[in-house]
Chain A
Amino acid sequence: DGGITQSPKYLFRKEGQNVTLSCEQNLNHDAMYWYRQDPGQGLRLIYYSQIVNDFQKGDIAEGYSVSREKKESFPLTVTSAQKNPTAFYLCASSVSAGPQHFGDGTRLSIL
């Protein structure tokens, strides 16, 4: 079945550690997105990518990094510079300017 797969479902980070969240899609979508959701809040955009090897910062990119080496994959690294990383992270994809479809998310917590 076509869809968006995020892994892991749950992730724990130690102080000073970088962690990488995986997002893979087999929908042949050009565009991919990373959002962060805090309790009781809407989603905020971290990074997005319209095509392979190109990406743009969203509203809250500080402390995060991404890569887009393949059309199907858009991993997000939460670096040690992100001082408040505890949140629910959602990945999405779309055809250009089409409706976005979301993965099931990764919950990141601090140990």
Chain B
Amino acid sequence: GIQVEQSPPDLILQEGANSTLRCNFSDSVNNLQWFHQNPWGQLINLFYIPSGTKQNGRLSATTVATERYSLLYISSSQTTDSGVYFCAVDRGSTLGRLYFGRGTQLTVWP
């Protein structure tokens, strides 16, 4: 299967700081999703982004499919941003199934 690597594995920030999370993948993909898993385990869709850049409030994401990576930017971080951020890719050959990275654990301190 396709390999998905996320970095850094852990990130600790002070409230108000900015951060960049990275996702590298080993093969061409049909689509890419970023998720936030909160401390209760809920997995929330952040972005569905096969290529280009999207923004949603303080969060934005960029995928460069030709170079096989995606970046998630969090600006002015808040304590509620804490949790695990996952990147997942869809190869397209078996439509819809996602391959997940191991996530970045983000902790934001007040």
Contacts and interface: CB of A to CB of B under 8 A. Distances in A.
Contact of A41 (B43, B88, B102): B102
B71 to A, nearest CB: 18
A19 B47 CA distance: 34
B1 to A, nearest CB: 7
Contact of A43 (B86, B92, B95): B86
A88 B38 CA distance: 14
A97 B30 contact: yes
B41 interface: yes
Contact of A97 (B35, B88, B96, B101): B96
B56 interface: no
B100 interface: yes
Given A59-B1, A88-B41, A100 B33 contact: yes
A108 interface: no
Contacts of B95: 31, 50, 96-97
Q: How large is the interface on A (under 10, 10 to 19, 20 to 34, 35 or more residues)?
A: 20 to 34
B45 A99 contact: yes
Interface string A91-103: 0001011111110
A101 to B, nearest CB: 6
B48 interface: yes
A41 B9 CA distance: 11
A94 B97 CA distance: 10
Interface of A: 31, 33, 35, 40-45, 48, 50, 56, 58-59, 88, 90, 94, 96-102, 104-105, 107
Given A42-B101, A100-B96, 6 more contacts: A33-B96, A41-B102, A42-B88, A43-B98, A90-B41, A99-B45
7 closest residue pairs by CB, A with B: A42-B100, A99-B48, A102-B43, A43-B100, A42-B102, A97-B95, A105-B41
